[in-house]
Amino acid sequence: MPMEENKQNYHFLWKEYVKEQRYWLGAILSAALIFVLIFWLCRLPLDVLLYLSCLYFIFQGSIFLYQYTKFQKRHEELDGMGVQMEVLEEILPKRQTVCEGDYQKIIYRLLEKNRLQKQEQEKKEKEASDYETLWAHQIKVPITAMELILQTQECEYKEELRGKLFDIEGYVEMMLCYQRLGSLYGDLSICSCNLEDIVRKAVRKYARMFIRKRIQLDFQEFHCQVLTDKKWLLFVIEQILSNALKYTNQGIVTIVCDCEKKILTIKDTGIGIAPEDMPRIYERGFTGENGRLEGKSTGLGLYLCRRIAEELSHELWIESQKGKGTRVCLRLDHITIL
Asked if the structure places residue 58 within a domain, the reply is yes
In angstroms and rounded to an integer, the radius of gyration of the C-alpha atoms of the chain is: 35
Q: Phi/psi at 299 (nearest 5 deg)?
A: 75, 15
Asked if the structure places residue 15 within a domain, the reply is yes
Task: Single out the residue in 47, 79, 111 at which a domain terminates.
Answer: 79
Q: What is the mean pLDDT of residues 40-64?
A: 78
Q: Are residues 75 and 193 in the same domain?
A: no
Tens digit of pLDDT for each residue in 211-220?
888 999 999 8
pLDDT at position 336: 46
Asked if the structure places residue 199 within a domain, the reply is yes
Asked if the structure places residue 209 within a domain, the reply is yes
Q: Which residue has the higher pLDDT, 290 or 274?
A: 274
Q: Is 263 left (phi over 0), alpha (psi -120 to 50) or beta?
A: beta
pLDDT at position 78: 66
Q: Are strands 216-219 and 190-194 parallel, antiparallel or unpaired?
A: unpaired
> Would you say residue 82 has pLDDT above 60?
no
Q: What is the mean pLDDT of residues 166-170?
A: 79
Amino acid at 4: E
Asked if the structure places residue 226 within a domain, the reply is yes
Asked if the structure places residue 217 within a domain, the reply is yes
Task: Single out the residue in 55, 79, 103 at which a domain terminates.
Answer: 79
Q: Which residue segment(s) compose the domain that 301 sits in?
A: 189-331
What distances in angstroms separate CA 201 from CA 229, 245, 251, 254, one per listed residue? Answer: 14, 16, 22, 16
Tens digit of pLDDT for each residue in 182-223?
767 677 888 999 999 999 999 999 898 898 889 999 998 898
pLDDT at position 290: 64
Q: Are residues 195 and 316 in the same domain?
A: yes
Q: Are strands 315-321 and 263-268 parallel, antiparallel or unpaired?
A: unpaired
Tens digit of pLDDT for each residue in 97-135?
677 777 778 877 887 888 888 888 888 877 777 777 777
pTM of the model: 0.61
Asked if the structure places residue 322 within a domain, the reply is yes
User: Domain tally for the chain?
Assistant: 2
pLDDT at position 134: 75
Task: Single out the residue in 31, 59, 79 at which a domain terminates.
Answer: 79
Q: Which residue has the higher pLDDT, 64 or 77?
A: 64
Q: Are residues 74 and 198 in the same domain?
A: no
CATH code for position 205: 3.30.565.10
Amino acid at 137: H
Tens digit of pLDDT for each residue in 88-97?
655 566 666 6
The pLDDT confidence band at residue 86, using thresholds 50, 70 and 90, is low
Q: What is the mean pLDDT of residues 278-300?
A: 73
Asked if the structure places residue 213 within a domain, the reply is yes
The pLDDT confidence band at residue 1, using thresholds 50, 70 and 90, is very low
Amino acid at 228: T
